[in-house]
Amino acid sequence: MPRTGPINNNKLSPGFRGRFLHLLLAITFLGALTACGTMKNQSGEEAVRESSASQTEAASEERNLANDPFEGFNRAVYKFNEKADQYVLKPLAKGYRAVVPQPVSKSISNFFSNLYDPANMLYNFLQGKPKSGFSDLGRVLINSTIGIAGLFDVATKMGLEKHNEDFGQTLAVWGVGDGPYLVLPFFGPSNIRDGASRPVDWYTYPPNHMEEHSTRDKMFVVEVVDKRAQLLDAGDILEQAAGSDPYIFVREAFRQRRLSLIHDGNPPQEAPPASLFEDDKPAPKPDVKSPAR
């Protein structure tokens, strides 16, 4: 494992910061262009409404559920991410799994997981969950010492649960809505709230403050390939379950997962449609003629 070097919260790479801001501006600009394109397509949708009222009502209900006004832009980015994964990430992940022994890859995963626990601790405190926050603090102290810099997850064996928090979830707990669905280049499924919160998650991740940029970049590559290797089996299942439109499957799966994370695995149950409780109309009585006398 390469040495990480000193950590300094006050020295950030101006070049990296500039590239990061440029990426966010590009995403915002493309989203605005797509919104304009969506407005131009409303005339076609009006024609569909006139042709069938029932179909229009169902389509409108589906659009509201999906909350995906940037669908054209999102699908384009989704395809780009798919190709990048198909030709770059997935082959690297397969080679990584073939070369790196499973115990070693497990320790590498534990090492990077430990680096996220300080942020998990902060977000749990900000969400008003002190018990989970102190649990994360215990995980950092135990795994960073007894676990040898996080290579071994001793804390979980001691009963300290691993949490998965981020600033997007924290904003949701504070009452900020998720906003429209948004697919980010390389990052994948997201929404306006979670996408805008990524700079905070970036800042709270310790390796991003390292002065040794070459070491930081190598750690980033190893982390990405390691995470993709963990998802190889899940990717095969996704290809089988996604059906004819994987984009919609991934979109709805992301929304359900985020809802579960925000509510710590206990999301609120959506109310069933009102039509479910409407009384059925009685069946018409058969026309029975009285017998002739």
Q: What is the pLDDT of residues 37-88, one digit of tens each?
A: 444 444 444 544 554 445 544 544 555 456 899 999 999 999 999 999 999 9
Q: Is residue 35 part of a domain?
A: yes
Closest CA to 5 of 231, 183, 209: 209
Amino acid letter for position 234: A
225 HSE (CA, 13 A, CB side): 19
Q: What is the DSSP letter of 89?
A: I
Q: Is residue 81 part of a domain?
A: yes
249 HSE (CA, 13 A, CB side): 11
Contacts of 49 (CB under 8 A, 6+ apart): 56
Q: Is residue 152 part of a domain?
A: no
Residue 87 structural domain: 21-54+62-99+166-264
Q: Is residue 287 part of a domain?
A: no
Q: Is residue 177 part of a domain?
A: yes
User: What is the reported pLDDT for 241?
Assistant: 77
User: What is the reported pLDDT for 246?
Assistant: 92
User: What is the reported pLDDT for 35?
Assistant: 40
Q: Is residue 187 part of a domain?
A: yes
Q: Is residue 270 part of a domain?
A: no
| Long-range contacts of 208-212, Cβ-Cβ distance < 8 Å, separation of 24 or more | 208/12, 209/7, 209/8, 209/9, 209/11, 209/12, 210/4, 210/5, 210/6, 210/7, 210/8, 211/5, 211/6, 211/8, 211/11, 212/4, 212/5
Q: Which two tokens stand for residue 231?
A: 């998802």
User: What is the reported pLDDT for 290?
Assistant: 53
Residues of the chain scoring pLDDT < 50 = 1-12, 14-45, 47-48, 51-53, 56-57, 59-60, 64, 276, 293
Q: Is residue 281 part of a domain?
A: no
- As for how many domains the chain has, the answer is 1
d(Cα 238, Cα 236) in Å, to the nearest integer? Answer: 5
